[in-house]
A and B are shown apart, each in its own frame.
Chain A
Amino acid sequence: MNAMVELGPEDSGCRSAPPVLTVQVEKDMEALVQRFLARKRGDLDRLRGALATDDFETMRRIGHDLKGSGEAFGFPELSGFGAEIERAATSSNGHALREQLTAVEQFLSHLRVTFR
Chain B
Amino acid sequence: MDPVTLKNPEAKPSAPVQPVAPAPATSMRVALVEDDLSQAELLSHWLELAGHRCHQFDRGEELIRALDQESFDVVVLDWNLPDMSGVDVLKRIRSSRQASVPIVFVTARNREDDVVTALRQGADDYMVKPVRRLELLARLETLARRGKHRVEQPEVLEVGVYRVDTQTRTVTRNERAVDLTAKDFDLSVLFLRNIGRLLSRGHIRESVWGPNAVVTSRTLDTHVSRIRNKLGLTPEHGWRLAAVYRYGYRLEQLDGPQPRPTQPVV
Contact = CB atoms under 8 A, between A and B. Distances in A.
Interface of A: 1, 10, 17-18, 20, 28-29, 31-32, 34-40, 61, 64-65, 67-73, 76, 79, 108-113
Nearest to A83: B108
Interface string B129-149: 111110000000000000000
17 contacts: A10-B2, A31-B14, A34-B9, A35-B9, A35-B10, A35-B38, A36-B38, A36-B41, A39-B37, A61-B80, A69-B38, A72-B129, A72-B132, A73-B42, A76-B130, A108-B3, A110-B1
B214 interface: no
B1 A109 contact: yes
B266 interface: no
Contacts of B108: 64-65, 67-68
Interface of A is mostly: helix
Contacts, number: 81
Interface residues of B, number: 28
Most B C-beta atoms less than 10 A away, residue of A32, A61, A71, A112: A32
Nearest to B41: A32
A67 B42 contact: no
B36 interface: yes
B7 interface: yes
B256 interface: no
Contacts of A36: 38, 41-42
A68 B1 CA distance: 28
What 8 pairs between A and B have smallest CB-CB spacing? A38-B9, A68-B129, A68-B108, A71-B130, A72-B130, A36-B38, A69-B39, A65-B36
B13 interface: yes
Contact of B2 (A1, A32, A37, A112): A112
B52 interface: no
B4 interface: yes
A38 B6 contact: yes
Interface in B176-220: none
A72 B2 contact: no
B253 interface: no
